[in-house]
Structure formats: structure tokens, C-alpha cells
Amino acid sequence: MIELRSDTFTLPTVGMRDAMFSAPLGDDVFGEDPTVNNLQVKVAELFGMENALFCPSGTMTNQIAISAHVSKGQEVICDELSHIYLYEGGGIMANAGASVKLLKGDLGRLSKDQIANAISPDDIHACESKLVSLENTVNKGGGSIYTSESLQEIADFCKHASIPLHLDGARIFNAMAASGQNPKQFGQWFDSISVCLSKGLGAPIGSVLLGSNDFIKKARRIRKRLGGGWRQAGLLAAAGIYALDNQVERLKDDHARATQIGLACEGLAWVSEVMPVTTNIVIIKLKDDIKASLKVAELDSLGIKCAPFGPQYIRFVTHLNFDDEALYKFIKIIKQ
Ligand SMILES: *Cc1c(COP(=O)(O)O)cnc(C)c1O
């Protein structure tokens, strides 16, 4: 089977497994797992941020960040396609007790003007805007990315307005591979960043939350409350360190293969539109009379696993277990 449902299906490589089994371990609730500490220092230094916290999932890093920035009755501003809104189980409300103001961006990307116009006025009727959250790459936007100009404008605005700016950077390394931006720039633009190690980077589990010392101290308390205080997690942190050292450079290959998938889908009788491909995600729209669930089942029977992404859309995601051989096989099947 050709697996294109998600870049979370990647399996640890032999080198990664070796790194995991030889990692020095300790109890992370006591702050004594040397490998977890190494990972946290490594990622914080990479992004030029003060501190970091290793967590089980990107949902948890996002939810901790929201809870740390926003209190009950206040609001988060984000795009309507955001993972924090669509795919985190209503956590903005359930975990932070917060409201959400949804904006309609361009393929999930917000502009500075949209954000500026959305901030609530200083008025007792209004819900106080206390966080702006961006996603980069935007999953539901077909892996779209922000330009440096746009991020600089948004960051400048948020600093001036004294409103924290969070990044759901589940695929931030894909964004950097495609744009040429570097981690230090993101560290300057954002107050907090969630980075997934378990997506394109290929670790089996884990995300890192970045921020100031005060923010991470607060985040550590919230993580414990959520039951995310873990013990000899160095076994998993070692996979993350290995991924950062060995599996970042290759992301551009995933992007090249995604571009090939997009090209192969263009002009197919059952495809009405291919969303612009910039990173490792390809979203196609089906012709009106075709249901995504049926097409996905048909492709599955032909050896291709992909994900329905709404009633009329299908998503393909490339990753380190999808090589050129799989790509040629994919193209052959899809053309037939
Ligand atoms: C996958 C993903 C997350 C986090 O997902 P987990 O499965 O909880 O690790 C967050 N944001 C985006 C955009 C994602 O694609």
C-alpha cells in the first residue's frame, strides 16, 4: 500500500531506534531526564527562545499555550481553518474557558489588517482579545506558508498592541524548507511556538513548546495538570533529537514529490481543482458528482491510502516513507 493519509504514519528509522535505546534517562517530572533536557535546550537555542517544554502531542502544546496566554471569558483570534479550532476537540473552550474569533484568511493565512480589525475594542460589552494564533504551514490550506513580510507585519502589530502571538508550527520545518526562512526569525516573531517532531520530521511521538522562561514555567504546571508530566521520556526525546539532526534536510524531497502528485492529479477526469502545492500537502477537489468517501475507498482498493478532507476534497501528504519508487507507482495507478 502507498501511504499518503498523513505524515504521522512514518516509522522510526534504524538510526532513530538505536538513538532511542541508547539514550540516558531520568525522571522528567523531577526535571532529571538528561535527554529531554538536551532536546529542550537544543530546540530553544535553535529558535533563539529562552525555554522549551517537551510534550506528548501538538494538540497538547497548542492547548497548553492557549491556556497559558488566555483566561476564561477572553478570546483567541485565528483563521477558520485552524487546527486549534477544527481539530482539538473544542479545547479552546474546554481547556482554557476561552472564546474564539474566527477570521477567513487566504488559504488559512491571516493578514495584519484582518487581525488589526478583529481586535475587540476596549469596551465592557466586548470579549477581550488576548491571543492571536497563526498556523504555518496551514494544514487545511493545502500546506500554504506565510511570507516573511507578512509575518513581520503581524508580529510588529501584535507587539505594538501588546497581544501575544502564538504559532502552531506543527510543520514549521516544512515551511522553512520551502521559504528559506530560519528558526531564529520565528523566535523573534512569535511569543510561543509549537513544533511537532512526529509529522514530517519522522519521530514516533512528541512536540516541543517554546517561549520565555516565565511562559514555560506556567506551561509546565498546565502540562502536569493535564496529566502530561511524564517520566523517562528521554526515550522519545532521543528520537526527536535524531530527527532534528538527520531528517530536516530531506523535507525538500517530500515537497518535490508532493509537487509531482499535484501535477499528476491535474487534468484527471474526476478532479476539478488542485490547490496550490508549496510543501508536503496536496489537496484536490473532486468533480461535483463524486463523493470523497467513495473515491478514497476506490483508491484504497487500487493500493493508495489517502484521506477524505471534507465531502468533496481529498488530501495526500508526502513523508519519509514515500520514496520515488512509490511516487512512480502512484502516478501509474492514478493515470489509469
Ligand atoms: C498534527 C497537527 C497538530 C497536532 O497534532 P497531534 O496529533 O496532537 O500531535 C497541530 N496542528 C496542526 C496544523 C497539525 O497538522
CATH number at residue 255: 3.90.1150.10
210 C-alpha vs ligand 1 centroid, how far in Å? 16
So what's the pLDDT on residue 267? Answer: 86
- Please indicate, yes or no, whether residues 33 and 174 belong to a single structural domain of this protein: yes
**Closest by Cα among 170, 107, 105, 95 to 132:** 105
Domain count, the chain: 2
Of 220, 246, 272, the position where a domain reaches its end is 246
Nearest CA to ligand 1 atom 2: 170
Q: Per residue of the chain (336 residues), what is the pLDDT tens digit?
A: 999 999 999 999 999 999 999 999 999 999 999 999 999 999 999 999 999 999 999 999 999 999 999 999 999 999 999 999 999 999 999 999 999 999 999 999 999 999 999 999 999 999 999 999 999 999 999 999 999 999 999 999 999 999 999 999 999 999 999 999 999 999 999 999 999 999 999 999 999 999 999 999 999 999 999 999 999 999 999 999 999 999 999 999 999 999 999 999 998 999 999 999 999 999 999 998 899 999 999 999 999 999 999 999 999 999 999 999 999 999 999 998
Q: Which of 87, 135, 140, 279 to mutate to test the pocket of ligand 1 (most atoms within 8 A of CB)?
A: 87
Closest ligand 1 atom to the C-alpha of 56?
Answer: 9
Q: Which of 64, 95, 167, 168 to mutate to test the pocket of ligand 1 (most atoms within 8 A of CB)?
A: 168
- Please indicate, yes or no, whether residues 102 and 214 belong to a single structural domain of this protein: yes
240 C-alpha vs ligand 1 centroid, how far in Å? 16
180 C-alpha vs ligand 1 centroid, how far in Å? 22
- Please indicate, yes or no, whether residues 76 and 155 belong to a single structural domain of this protein: yes
Nearest CA to ligand 1 atom 6: 58
Encoded amino acid at 247, one letter: Q
Query: What torsion, rounded to 10 degrees, do the Cα atoms 132, 60, 192, 103 define?
Result: -20
148 C-alpha vs ligand 1 centroid, how far in Å? 23
199 C-alpha vs ligand 1 centroid, how far in Å? 8
- Please indicate, yes or no, whether residues 145 and 165 belong to a single structural domain of this protein: yes
- With respect to residue 1, please indicate whether it lies within any of the assigned structural domains: no
Q: Which domain holds residue 241?
A: 10-246
- Please indicate, yes or no, whether residues 128 and 185 belong to a single structural domain of this protein: yes
- Please indicate, yes or no, whether residues 215 and 272 belong to a single structural domain of this protein: no
- Please indicate, yes or no, whether residues 261 and 227 belong to a single structural domain of this protein: no
59 C-alpha vs ligand 1 centroid, how far in Å? 6
Q: Which of 8, 83, 136 to mutate to test the pocket of ligand 1 (most atoms within 8 A of CB)?
A: 83
Of 216, 246, 276, the position where a domain reaches its end is 246
Q: Are 172 and 209 in contact (CB under 8 A)?
A: no
Of 246, 269, 284, the position where a domain reaches its end is 246
- With respect to residue 223, please indicate whether it lies within any of the assigned structural domains: yes
Set of cell numbers at residue 31? 526535571
- Please indicate, yes or no, whether residues 110 and 26 belong to a single structural domain of this protein: yes
- With respect to residue 3, please indicate whether it lies within any of the assigned structural domains: no
Rounded to an integer, what distance in angstroms lies between the CA atom of residue 244 and that of residue 210?
15
The 8-class DSSP code of residue 106 comes to B
| Chain-centre distance for alpha carbon 174 | 9
- Please indicate, yes or no, whether residues 227 and 257 belong to a single structural domain of this protein: no
283 C-alpha vs ligand 1 centroid, how far in Å? 17
| Ligand 1 pocket, Cβ-based, cut-off 6 angstroms | 57-59, 62, 83, 135, 139, 168, 170, 196, 198-199, 207
- Please indicate, yes or no, whether residues 301 and 161 belong to a single structural domain of this protein: no
- With respect to residue 210, please indicate whether it lies within any of the assigned structural domains: yes
Rounded to an integer, what distance in angstroms lies between the CA atom of residue 281 and that of residue 140?
9
Q: List 168's β-bridge partners, or say none.
A: 135, 194
- Please indicate, yes or no, whether residues 267 and 331 belong to a single structural domain of this protein: yes
Contacts (Cβ under 8 Å, ≥6 apart) of 23 = 35, 234, 235, 237, 238
Q: List 262's β-bridge partners, or say none.
A: none
- With respect to residue 130, please indicate whether it lies within any of the assigned structural domains: yes
So what's the pLDDT on residue 336? Answer: 86
- Please indicate, yes or no, whether residues 226 and 283 belong to a single structural domain of this protein: no
- With respect to residue 22, please indicate whether it lies within any of the assigned structural domains: yes
